[in-house]
Amino acid sequence: MSLLKYESQQREPLVDGNKDYHQVTEDIVRPIEMKPSRLWYIGFYISVALLLFGVYSIYREVTYGIGQWNLNKTIGWGWDITNFVWWVGIGHAGTLISAILLLFRQGWRTGVNRAAEAMTIFAVMCAGQFPIWHMGRVWMAMFVLPYPNTRGPLWVNFNSPLLWDVFAISTYFTVSLLFWYSGLLPDFATVRDRAKTKFRKMMYGVAAFGWSGSTKHWQRHESLSLVLAGLSTPLVLSVHTIVSFDFATSIVPGWHTTIFPPYFVAGAIFSGFAMVQTLMIVVRKVLNLQDYITLGHIEAMNKVIVLTGSIVGCAYLTELFIAWYGQNQYEQWAFFENRGNLFSPYGWSYYLMMFCNVVSPQLFWSRKLRRNITVTFFMSIIVNIGMWFERFVIIVTSVYRDFLPSSWSTYYSPSIWEIGFYLGTFGLFFTCFFLFGKYFPVIAIAEIKAVLKTSGENYKAKMTDIEKADAEKFYIEEVEHAH
Amino acid sequence: MGNGSQANNPWLQELPDPISKVTWDNYAMMGTEMYKEMYGKDVLKDKGASDAYEVHPEKPVVKVTANGKSLELPVLLIPGIQKNTIAVALGYGRGAAGASKEAITNNIGRAAYGAGKNAYPLVGFDGTTVQYNADVKIEKTSSTYPLAQTQVHGSSENRPVIYETNLKSFIANPAQMLEEVEQEKLNITVNGSEDFVKDATMYPHYEKPGIKWGMAIDLNTCTGCSACVVACSAENNVSVVGKIQVQRAHEMHWLRIDRCFTGDLENPDVVFQPMMCQHCDNAPCENVCPVAATNHSSEGLNQMTYNRCIGTRYCANNCPYKVRRFNWLDYTGADSFKDNQQPLIGSDMDEVVLQMNDDLTRMVLNPDVTVRSRGVIEKCSFCVQRLQESKLDAKKQQDPSLVRNVKTACMQACPTHAISFGNINDTESNVAKARSDKHRNFYVLEQLHVLPNVSYLAKVRNTDRHIGAIEEGGEEKKGEAKKEEKAHV
């Protein structure tokens, strides 16, 4: 025998249990071929109900005006843009896992990448709703697209960060969707080939684009994956950078900050991984995939969370320092009064954010807690609450008391239709995610198979025997050959 | 409102009271000391309490009893009101006691219905004279009442927004008042240049030849009467939005009067500052609009293109003066969505908005000015329709100096001639003459380098008292210490 890749015995296996290729296919495709459980139906109908409530909230807002929301002359953006940034941020973990971890050859990504990419796409779909429907005249939304038109010299304003957003988000969505779908092709073909009903065969046959599994197909597939990974990598950094420009390039004290791009990117990955954790912990339990999404996977993601959480914490402290050091009275007011002063109207939101994003992730320095499912699930929710408040703090506590004290605002809290819109995006997200869980292979079958023989538990155990029998021969013949 | 004869005038009802900034209601005005005695909260010292008071429109209600009659009214804190005194405005709460809504709307008008409470029962009559003051008894109640206030914060927080001094120190050293801001401008300017406009930015400078419209407002003569606000509403078809919308800070006024309490808050001075679009030459609103709906004219106007606006509200966020107004709902009936002024489930629009849109009342609209639809931003245009007319006039008569005759609506209505307007490139224009008063001419938030086209002439009070923030020598420190304690009411 000869090895293509050798993985140290020190490393935890990426696939637990006694698996062979067939068993992997069985485990992952079975949920697609079975009738969904009662729980699935309950979850799905709740999601659809939320989605419908969201649709009605948007109907109200479009028919009667943005005045259905509690924004005002001073606070032009509130929950709408907060939710937008929050959802976009969540998407980032999927792209990081699929692109950057692929380029860095992190084997553990294979267990979670499919679902994380799906999460990215659904999150970006939710995010996109907010900048669209927050427009006062959404029926004129096509004005933001630079297409040839009959309006003479009227064209979009390339100086506006909102326009950059249009490009950033649409590019991000397109590339993520392509990447996700191209990865799905071989797995759809697997489902098609196992299909016992004509209808399923036809549907998955169409979805698989005629994948035959030939070497040529695999070769092109690998090249395409690398190209798309290369395209996605800068997007991990650029999308949230551009979103941060909405604030950083303005003159509002508390928004006008050069630290925003890296700080937003770190925060995006932070919240994204938290969301992946929330979803994965549920998915592995419900679909019985504990062997593929192992404690090792969860621990790896918790490490990313504590890292990015600490970066975000550094950014918060840097902001405070610069506000003091810069001696700009408006910025000082934004940081030390609007936010830092616990007794000011919105002080509570700043401290809630600090606690959720900076203090609580520090638990994950402990290996025991990193590998504890309950703690991880709880923390993943805390982190996403914290990251929602980060965006809320940035947006609302900056504008509600800015330059002219005469225009300082009264207390802003959302109307039922603002909340409804937000709940509606949860409905959209989970409706999509439930459909994904039912009809799509939630783990990349082909990719798991690629790491199975080096990182599967049973294969590693077999390797141990060979290694022990004649260690010297093993290293000279096999390991060196592999590297 | 006068004695109530004007109670059905929506423009007047929606015009904020110069001092209290409340619309559509009357209330019991109370000093800070009395408030402290009644509610145990010292808003002058306790910042948390004053914040909590100012950010919630719901104000505590008291029962006022005088001459054997009583009335429940919300309490409005106004610094400077004598301890043991409250003030209540008359002319509100029209209609006979217990009259139905229909009776009031039919006999008096829809705008009068529900606006405040009738305080006339509290007034005494001794047989010959009507007594407007009486001994009153005030009791706390457990309820609250939301007031529609257009400005909730009373202090300028020492920001470069207003300047004032007393006559003595102004004569002694006229340059002193604006010394600090002038110095700060020099600090921002690079390469030792003294040209703040040109050299305090990394971007290229453009010459602005020809007509460049500008305005100067003299804070000395402004009395805060707010005639300009109504004139502006009439000229520019500014919507009346009603009490509920004003409560939600959705009022549409293009021009507002900012009121600032200065000095000792137990006996404060007040400065009124008319505030409208400053038509910045380096406008922060213009570059953030994704569709270029707001842009700059070659005559220095910051223009709004309503047809192009998609309503992202980014410009309003980025405006340091917060003068941009968004059409939150369909206030003018100019919308492409039918019947959306009366939502099926619940309504948050006042009936007065509907009143303003019936066929007869719509005749009040100025045909020279577009009526804005829901979902677009609007703001002061410097009465561009009048500017255009004056230019055409000058062209027809072949006399360029005729543009000097142009008057904006606010300027025309101002009884004290506080507002001057014209071409600032024309040294003979009113505005250029007003601005030549170098030691008083300032721009609000000038350090931001947004280069406003509206300037203000600082207030000089004819008194020997120390005024506002500017004090001399050792007393300056004392003033600073006092300001720290200053609450924002």
A 10 A CB-CB count for A125 gives 17
pLDDT of residue B488: 37
ipTM of the complex: 0.88
Residue with tokens 């900034």: B21
Q: Note whether B249 contacts A409, CB cutoff 8 Å.
A: yes
Cα B228–Cα B282–Cα B273 angle in degrees, nearest 5: 25
pLDDT tens digits, one per residue of B211-229: 999 999 999 999 999 999 9
State which fold the B164-177+208-461 domain adopts.
Alpha-Beta Plaits (3.30.70)
pLDDT of residue A3: 53
pLDDT tens digits, one per residue of B186-206: 888 887 788 888 888 888 888
In the predicted structure, residue A324 carries a pLDDT above the cut 90: yes
Shortest Cα–Cα distance, A70 to chain B (Å) = 7
pLDDT tens digits, one per residue of A470-479: 777 766 766 6
Residues on chain A touching B257 (C-beta within 8 angstroms) = none
Residues on chain B touching A66 (C-beta within 8 angstroms) = 311, 313, 326, 328, 375
Residues on chain A touching B377 (C-beta within 8 angstroms) = 136
In the predicted structure, residue A271 carries a pLDDT above the cut 90: yes
Q: H-type helices in B135-288, by residue range?
A: 167-172, 179-188, 196-199, 227-236, 243-247, 284-288
% chain A with pLDDT above 90: 62
Domain ranges across chain B: 10-148, 164-177+208-461
pLDDT tens digits, one per residue of B78-112: 988 888 888 888 888 888 777 888 888 888 888 88
Q: Encoding tokens for residue B462?
A: 């004819």
CA quadruple A182, A186, A192, A194: dihedral positive or negative?
Answer: negative
Q: Note whether A403 contacts B327, CB cutoff 8 Å.
A: no
pLDDT of residue A464: 76
**Of the ranges A336-340, B23-27, B466-470, which one carries the lowest mean pLDDT score?**
B466-470
Contact B191, B373 (CB under 8 A): no
Nearest residue on chain A to B295, judged by CA atoms? Answer: A157
pLDDT tens digits, one per residue of B261-272: 988 888 888 999
Shortest Cα–Cα distance, A158 to chain B (Å) = 7
pLDDT of residue A478: 65
CA distances from B261 to B35, B236, B255 (A): 18, 30, 20
- Across the interface, which of B310, B322, B448 has its CB nearest the CB of A407? B322
- Across the interface, which of A74, A134, A166 has its CB nearest the CB of B249? A74
pLDDT (average), residues A38-44: 91
* Residues forming CATH 1.20.1630.10 domain(s) in chain A: 21-148+155-455
Q: Encoding tokens for residue B239?
A: 């919507």
Residues on chain B touching A61 (C-beta within 8 angstroms) = none
pLDDT tens digits, one per residue of B420-471: 999 999 888 889 999 998 889 999 999 899 999 999 999 998 887 777 654 4
Contact B135, B433 (CB under 8 A): no
The b/e string for B398-423 (b: 16+ C-beta within 10 A; e otherwise) is eeeebbbebbbbbbbbbeeebbbbbb
In angstroms, rounded to a whole number, what is the distance separating the alpha carbons of residues B24 and A433?
50
Residues on chain B touching A411 (C-beta within 8 angstroms) = 55-56
**Helix H or strand E encompassing B433:** helix B430-435
**Of the ranges A94-108, B266-280, B468-482, which one carries the lowest mean pLDDT score?**
B468-482
CATH for the stretch A21-148+155-455:
1.20.1630.10
Residues on chain B touching A249 (C-beta within 8 angstroms) = 288
pLDDT of residue A444: 86
pLDDT (average), residues A302-307: 93
In angstroms, rounded to a whole number, what is the distance separating the alpha carbons of residues B243 and A400?
21
Q: Note whether A160 contacts B288, CB cutoff 8 Å.
A: yes
Contact B152, B43 (CB under 8 A): no
- Across the interface, which of B260, B317, B337 has its CB nearest the CB of A252? B317
In the predicted structure, residue B485 carries a pLDDT above the cut 70: no
Confidence of residue B473 (pLDDT cuts 50, 70, 90): very low
Q: Note whether B329 contacts A410, CB cutoff 8 Å.
A: no
- Across the interface, which of A154, A163, A330 has its CB nearest the CB of B308? A154
Residues on chain B touching A403 (C-beta within 8 angstroms) = 159, 320-322, 445, 448
B480 touches chain A (CB under 8 A): no
CA distances from B347 to A67, A398, B246 (A): 11, 30, 15
pLDDT of residue B179: 87
* B303: three-class secondary structure by DSSP: strand
Domain B10-148: state its class.
mainly beta
- Across the interface, which of B250, B289, B316 has its CB nearest the CB of A157? B289
Identity of residue B329 = L
Residues on chain B touching A144 (C-beta within 8 angstroms) = 290-291, 310
Chain B interface disruption, residue of A133, A406, A417, most B CBs within 10 A: A406
Q: What is the largest CA-CA distance in chain B?
A: 77
% chain B with pLDDT above 90: 44
pLDDT tens digits, one per residue of A350-382: 999 999 999 999 999 999 999 999 999 999 999
% chain A with pLDDT above 70: 97
- Across the interface, which of B259, B337, B444 has its CB nearest the CB of A63? B337
In angstroms, rounded to a whole number, what is the distance separating the alpha carbons of residues B232 and B382?
10
Q: Encoding tokens for residue A290?
A: 């504990």
Contact B328, A154 (CB under 8 A): no
Sequence-separated (6 or more) residues with CB below 8 Å from residue B404: B422, B423, B426, B428, B429, B430
A138 touches chain B (CB under 8 A): yes
Please give the residue that has the higher pLDDT: either B463 or A260: A260
Q: Note whether A154 contacts B292, CB cutoff 8 Å.
A: yes
pLDDT of residue A89: 92
In the predicted structure, residue A52 carries a pLDDT above the cut 90: yes
Q: Encoding tokens for residue A15?
A: 């696939």
pLDDT (average), residues A236-264: 92
Contact B356, B10 (CB under 8 A): yes
pLDDT of residue B470: 42
Residues on chain B touching A140 (C-beta within 8 angstroms) = 310
- Across the interface, which of A71, A74, A163 has its CB nearest the CB of B290? A163
pLDDT tens digits, one per residue of A182-215: 999 999 999 999 988 999 999 999 999 999 989 9
Residue ranges of B 50-79 with Cβ closer than 8 A to chain A: 51-52, 54-57
**Of the ranges A170-174, A294-298, A345-349, B257-261, which one carries the lowest mean pLDDT score?**
A294-298
Residue ranges of A 46-105 with Cβ closer than 8 A to chain B: 60, 63-68, 70-74, 76-77
Residues on chain A touching B309 (C-beta within 8 angstroms) = 136-137
Shortest Cα–Cα distance, A421 to chain B (Å) = 17
Sequence-separated (6 or more) residues with CB below 8 Å from residue A468: none
Instruction: Count chain A–chain B contacts defined by CB atoms under 8 A.
Output: 199
In the predicted structure, residue B480 carries a pLDDT above the cut 80: no
In the predicted structure, residue B23 carries a pLDDT above the cut 90: yes
- Across the interface, which of A66, A333, A411 has its CB nearest the CB of B328? A66
Residue with tokens 């959705």: B250
pLDDT of residue B487: 36
pLDDT of residue B482: 35
In the predicted structure, residue B477 carries a pLDDT above the cut 80: no
pLDDT of residue B471: 43
How many Å from the N-terminal Cα to the C-terminal Cα in chain B? 25
In the predicted structure, residue B280 carries a pLDDT above the cut 90: yes
B156 touches chain A (CB under 8 A): yes
Shortest Cα–Cα distance, A247 to chain B (Å) = 9
In the predicted structure, residue B381 carries a pLDDT above the cut 90: yes
pLDDT of residue B333: 83
Residues on chain A touching B290 (C-beta within 8 angstroms) = 143-144, 156-157, 160, 162-163, 166
In angstroms, rounded to a whole number, what is the distance separating the alpha carbons of residues B280 and B197?
12
Residue ranges of B 427-466 with Cβ closer than 8 A to chain A: 444-445, 448, 450
**Of the ranges A396-400, B50-54, B294-298, which one carries the lowest mean pLDDT score?**
B50-54
In angstroms, rounded to a whole number, what is the distance separating the alpha carbons of residues B319 and A402?
10
In the predicted structure, residue B7 carries a pLDDT above the cut 90: no
Residue ranges of B 350-369 with Cβ closer than 8 A to chain A: none
Residue ranges of A 261-320 with Cβ closer than 8 A to chain B: none
Q: Note whether A166 contacts B444, CB cutoff 8 Å.
A: no
Q: Note whether B326 contacts A73, CB cutoff 8 Å.
A: yes
pLDDT (average), residues A52-75: 93
pLDDT tens digits, one per residue of B297-317: 999 999 999 999 999 999 999
Please give the residue that has the higher pLDDT: either B233 or A13: B233
Residue with tokens 């028919």: A63
In the predicted structure, residue B347 carries a pLDDT above the cut 70: no
A 10 A CB-CB count for A459 gives 19
Contact B351, B110 (CB under 8 A): yes
pLDDT (average), residues A233-262: 92
Nearest residue on chain B to A143, judged by CA atoms? Answer: B291
Q: At what angle do helices A79-95 and A373-399 cross, to 10 degrees?
A: 140
Q: Note whether A72 contacts B248, CB cutoff 8 Å.
A: yes
Chain B interface disruption, residue of A58, A159, A164, A404, most B CBs within 10 A: A404
Q: Do the strands B69-77 and B130-131 form a parallel or antiparallel pair, or are they unpaired?
A: unpaired
pLDDT of residue B469: 52
Residue in B463, B443, B483, B453 with CA at minimum distance from that of residue B182: B443
pLDDT of residue B228: 95
Nearest residue on chain A to B249, judged by CA atoms? Answer: A72
Residue B260's φ and ψ, nearest 5 degrees, are: -130, 125
Q: Note whether B326 contacts A136, CB cutoff 8 Å.
A: yes
Ramachandran category for residue A372: left, alpha or beta (phi over 0 → left; psi -120 to 50 → alpha): beta
DSSP bridge pairs for B216? B420, B455
